């Protein structure tokens, strides 16, 4: 193998030329060029579905391009598997961590390696992993099982996994999506420590402020094409980037009419519940939501948001505390009781919870009212009435399907979300629990969802909006409540991002305000 010239190392460690990748029905990458310099942090910016992850999955050997070429250290490469990419020094850290929860940190790191040959001898490797972590300022217990670790720690395991394999180029797919603001800072300092050692980093993101904060150069993708490449970060503005990313001027304002909140609809008192592993996920939550009010629940993923939504809707048992809807105690009552009281629920997981993939559009939209007239009379399900109802929703909510008998697994993400929204909104809910309603949607679809939520607010529904997008929460909500490790840290109604951010890392509001008072004195 030819050695790269030591005196003149090639400027670009990675060059991707005219990459084309088609998926059935989508052109994910359309002649995309990309380059990465040694020791830089290069941001790959774009909306959801712009083709960023696809491009990087190609570089990481997970997908093969339909055409185009890749040069690493100046030599053409052709990765058939991720293992080939790792051998060439390229490691990718995916948005969903690729860690085996039941195995230890060291076991996860050793997975797929040729050494140890047969016997594991974990103790010896625990030592090596710990040493490697210290070198880059990452503290992780090598013997801990992955499911016991926090999200931030798991991310560090992922990084260690790649460093252990001698990765020189690290691809990070939306690494901050799951982190609290302070954890983001820690991650950034780890990334900087790595570039100081000569590693190069590709930072995939759709969050402008983070890209501005961490990257040296930026490449922007839109709908599978490069709209700007190799911009120097200090030479561009946020607004320019936003336009490049979305393709038009972005209006950061919503038409939010003033609504006077009415009576209390949802009242949660000292609520406790466990997560799937049997560990406490909610630890004494108190919360109220009134008519005509959107209450945003902010927090880093995995701090009890999902459990809270599930306990309110009856999907999960509370171990202590009470949930009232319109004054009626529905704690640990069957799901159906909540549905009857007008609780609607847009679940986080659209395909695994919110829909039945092989059933028709009609069967999916009647999921919540199949047992009520006119769709049902007695035992009998009126197929004509059900289809008529589905036809009406299809028109009202612009659901694009060939026929109402099409199984919903054939629908795109945005269309599927519209089916779910149509179902949950058309029931005229008194209380709506909306969890990550815009995740994975493109800008147009996001605006549509926002408008529907605001319309419900004007209709007098009480809405609990759970999201990890702080901007979305602040724009839509009348109040933002912050949750951390199953406890409510405080409440903000003036959109004070800084305060929300601090609460998301576990500092209670009282402490923050007391601290400020100290400063003033």
Which residue from 82, 152, 284, 413 is in contact with other proteins, where contact means CB under 8 A?
Answer: 82
Residue 485: left (phi > 0), alpha (psi -120 to 50), or beta?
left
Side-by-side strand order, sheet with 431-435: 343-346, 431-435, 462-466, 293-298, 479-484, 487-492
251 alpha carbon, distance to own chain's centre: 22
Q: Which of residues 427-486 bind other proteins (CB under 8 A)?
A: none
Q: What are phi and psi of 10, to 5 degrees?
A: -60, 135
Could you give the maximum distance between any two Cα atoms of the chain, in Å? 84
- Of residues 354, 429, 437, 486, which one binds other proteins by CB under 8 A? 354
- Cβ atoms of 43 and 234 within 8 Å: the answer is no
Q: Which residue from 9, 116, 373, 374 is in contact with other proteins, where contact means CB under 8 A?
A: 116
Is residue 482 a contact partner of residue 490, using CB atoms and an 8 Å limit? yes
Q: Could you tell me the two tokens for 296? A: 């945003």
Give whichever of 196 and 377 is closer to other proteins, judged by the CB atom.
377
Give the total residue count for the chain: 521
Q: How many chain residues bind other proteins (CB under 8 A)?
A: 74
Alpha helices, DSSP H, located in 33-88? 52-59, 82-87
Q: How far is the CB of 130 from other proteins (least distance, A)?
A: 19
| Nearer to other proteins among residue 290 and residue 423 (C-beta) | 423
The Cβ of residue 463 has, within 10 Å, a number of other Cβ atoms equal to 27
Residue whose token pair is 């108190």: 286
Chain residues 149-168 in contact with other proteins, contact rule CB under 8 A: 161
Q: Which of 7, 248, 278, 494 binds other proteins (CB under 8 A)?
A: 278
Q: How far is the CB of 46 from other proteins (least distance, A)?
A: 19
**Least distance to other proteins, CB of residue 68, Å:** 13
Given 15, 29, 108, 344, the residue binding other proteins (CB under 8 A): 108
Return the residue of 5, 7, 8, 96 that touches other proteins, per CB under 8 A: 96
Those residues with Cβ within 8 angstroms of residue 443's Cβ, 6 or more apart along the chain or in another chain: 47, 246, 250
Residue 426 is a binding residue for other proteins (CB under 8 A): no
How near is the Cβ of 153 to other proteins at its closest, in Å?
16
- Interface pattern 13-42 for other proteins (x via CB under 8 A): -----------xx-----------------
Is 113 or 511 the residue whose CB approaches other proteins more closely?
Answer: 113
**Range in contact with other proteins (rule: CB under 8 A) among 33-41, 360-368, 454-462, 477-485:** 360-368
Within 13 Å and on the Cβ side, how many CA atoms surround 187? 29
Q: Write out the binding residues for other proteins, residues 326-345 only, by CB under 8 A.
A: 334-336, 338-339, 345
List the one residue from 248, 251, 255, 380 that touches other proteins (CB under 8 A). Answer: 380
When asked if residue 239 is in the footprint of other proteins (CB under 8 A), the reply is no
Q: Which stretch binds other proteins (CB under 8 A): 202-210, 276-284, 390-398, 443-451?
A: 276-284
Q: Which of 13, 57, 54, 19 is nearest to 36 (CA)?
A: 13
Instruction: Report the residue number, 299 or 338, with the smaller CB distance to other proteins.
Output: 338
With CB under 8 A as the contact rule, which of the stretches 229-237, 293-301, 351-359, 437-445 interacts with other proteins? 351-359
Of the candidate residues 123, 254, 356, 514, the single one contacting other proteins (CB under 8 A): 356
Q: Provide the minimum distance between the beta carbon of 215 and other proteins in the complex, in angstroms, as a whole number.
A: 25
Interaction between residue 366 and other proteins (CB under 8 A): yes
> Which residues are within 8 A (CB) of 58 and not within 5 positions of it... i.e. 6 or more apart?
16, 19, 21, 29, 64, 65, 70
The span of 43-51, 56-64, 319-327, 474-482 binding other proteins (CB under 8 A) equals 56-64
* Cβ proximity of 389 and 375 under 8 Å: yes
Rounded Cα distance between 4 and 100, Å, is 37
Binders in 384-413 for other proteins, by CB under 8 A:
402, 406-407, 410
Burial (CB count <10 Å: 0-12, 13-18, 19+), residue 124: exposed
């Amino acid at each position: 193998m030819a050695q790269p010239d030591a005196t003149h190392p090639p400027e670009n460690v990675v060059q991707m030329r005219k990459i084309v990748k088609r998926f059935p029905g989508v052109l994910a990458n359309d002649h995309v060029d990309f380059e990465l310099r040694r020791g830089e942090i290069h941001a790959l910016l774009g909306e959801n579905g712009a083709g960023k992850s696809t491009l990087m999955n190609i570089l990481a050997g997970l997908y093969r391009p339909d055409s185009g070429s890749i040069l690493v250290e100046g030599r053409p490469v052709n990765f058939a598997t991720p293992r080939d990419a790792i051998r060439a020094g390229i490691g990718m850290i995916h948005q969903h961590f690729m860690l085996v929860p039941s195995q230890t940190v060291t076991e996860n790191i050793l997975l797929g390696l040729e050494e140890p040959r047969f016997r594991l001898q974990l103790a010896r490797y625990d030592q090596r992993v710990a040493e490697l972590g210290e070198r880059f300022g990452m503290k992780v217990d090598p013997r801990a099982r992955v499911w016991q670790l926090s999200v931030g720690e798991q991310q560090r395991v992922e990084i260690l996994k790649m460093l252990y394999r001698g990765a020189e180029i690290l691809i990070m797919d939306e690494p901050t999506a799951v982190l609290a603001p302070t954890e983001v800072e820690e991650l950034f300092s780890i990334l900087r420590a790595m570039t100081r050692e000569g590693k190069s980093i590709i930072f995939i993101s759709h969050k402008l402020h983070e890209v501005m904060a961490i990257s040296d150069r930026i490449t922007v993708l839109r709908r599978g094409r490069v709209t700007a490449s190799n911009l120097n970060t200090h030479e561009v503005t946020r607004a320019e980037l936003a336009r490049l990313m979305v393709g038009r001027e972005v209006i950061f304002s919503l038409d939010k009419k003033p609504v006077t909140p009415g009576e209390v609809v949802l009242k949660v008192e000292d609520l406790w519940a466990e997560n799937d592993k049997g560990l406490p996920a909610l630890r004494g939550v108190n919360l109220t939501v009134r008519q005509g009010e959107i209450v945003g629940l902010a927090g880093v993923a995995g701090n009890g948001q999902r459990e809270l939504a599930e306990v309110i809707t009856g999907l999960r048992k509370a171990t202590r505390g009470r949930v009232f809807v319109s004054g009626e105690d529905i704690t640990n009552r069957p799901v159906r009781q909540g549905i009857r009281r007008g609780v609607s629920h847009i679940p986080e997981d659209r395909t695994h919870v919110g829909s039945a993939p092989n059933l028709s559009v009609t069967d999916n939209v009647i999921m919540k009212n199949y047992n009520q007239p006119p769709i049902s009379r007695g035992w009998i399900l009126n197929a004509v009435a059900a289809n008529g109802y589905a036809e009406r929703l299809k028109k009202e909510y612009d659901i694009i399907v060939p026929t109402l008998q099409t199984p919903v697994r054939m629908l795109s993400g945005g269309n599927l979300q519209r089916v779910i929204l149509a179902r949950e909104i058309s029931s005229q809910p008194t209380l709506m629990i909306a969890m990550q309603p815009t995740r994975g949607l493109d800008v147009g679809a996001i605006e549509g969802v926002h408008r529907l939520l605001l319309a419900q607010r004007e209709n007098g529904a009480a809405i609990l909006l759970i999201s990890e997008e702080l901007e979305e929460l602040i724009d839509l909500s009348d109040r933002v409540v912050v949750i951390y490790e199953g406890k409510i840290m405080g409440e903000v109604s003036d959109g004070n991002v800084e305060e929300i951010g601090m609460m998301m890392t576990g500092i209670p509001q009282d402490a923050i305000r007391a601290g400020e008072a100290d400063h003033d004195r």
